[in-house]
Amino acid sequence: MLDMTLRQGHQVFLNALAGNNFSGQSVRAYNADITQFIEFLQSVRVDWNNPLKITRIDIVEFMNRLSGLKRTGTTRARKLASIRHFLKFLKENDVIAGNPAETVIRARKEEKDPTVLFKNEYKALLFEAQGNSRDYAILMTFLKSGVRESELAALQIDDVDLYHEELTVREGKGKKERKIPLMPELKRALRRYMEDRERQANIIDEDTLFLARNGTSLNPSSIRKLVKKYYVKAGVRKSGVHTLRHTFSAHNANNGMSIADLQKVLGHKKKETTLKYIHAVNTSLRDTMLKTQT
């Protein structure tokens, strides 16, 4: 075994992270987590600086201490991951014989209710985009169909059926096709954009619905940046494309759409997944909706 104190091993580990191109932020996060663990050992054991003396119980007790300090499951899980990585490094470099953190059960992360936009917030987004038919149609498609960003990026011209008032999503998870009704507001937004699109001179990806200024397909990264721009312009402090999907889900649930129909529109395999999206529905209504669908 390589003779090294815990403090020395800590520093060598941080140097190794930096040498392997971990970002400065990541190195600082590892440093903070491991420092806290070492300080805990120092408070409970006289031989704290000997890495060979670290046991599984030490790590479990540290997790219990964090729980007593009201640290979230997410925080505790991250700190355990840092300790595991650190002790794995010591093991691989023959400082310790085994990794006592390997069998410690990770804390469950709390499930947070999805973020949704209030009516005034999504109206503000649409107001800021109304001068651009493409951007307005993109925001309206998210808000009125609940598609994922990857699904919106993959939409084709032929997926929009204005006559039958349907949107066909062909590139969802599992590659399954589903039909989504076109609400009047969305139908108008798509018609306006598609009329403007016909006048675009430099179209390269002819079959793709939403195009960049250079005529090529918009990719998910570009879509995220576009949506973020309107959050900022509208002064809405929430963010993310998925928030628009959550908003669609909550709005339709509150308007009486059944769990089965909402599940179908969203493309979820499990009913329980759909329920997580219904953030704005009160508990009694949520329970009633679930019972009526079983």
The full set of domains in the chain, from first to last, is 6-92 (1.10.150), 119-292 (1.10.443.10)
Rounded Cα–Cα distance for residues 292 and 294 (Å): 6
Amino acid code (one letter) for 213 = R
214-268 pLDDT, tens digit each? 999 999 899 999 999 999 999 999 889 989 998 998 888 878 888 888 888 888 8
Identify the weakest region by mean pLDDT among 33-37, 173-177, 267-271. Answer: 173-177
Give the three-class secondary structure for 180.
Answer: strand
Give CA separation, 112 vs 62, 84, 118, 154, 286, in Å.
25, 26, 18, 29, 16
Give CA separation, 143 vs 89, 116, 191, 243, 255, in Å.
47, 11, 16, 9, 14
pLDDT score, position 289: 43
pLDDT score, position 275: 77
pLDDT at 292 over 70: no
pLDDT score, position 253: 82
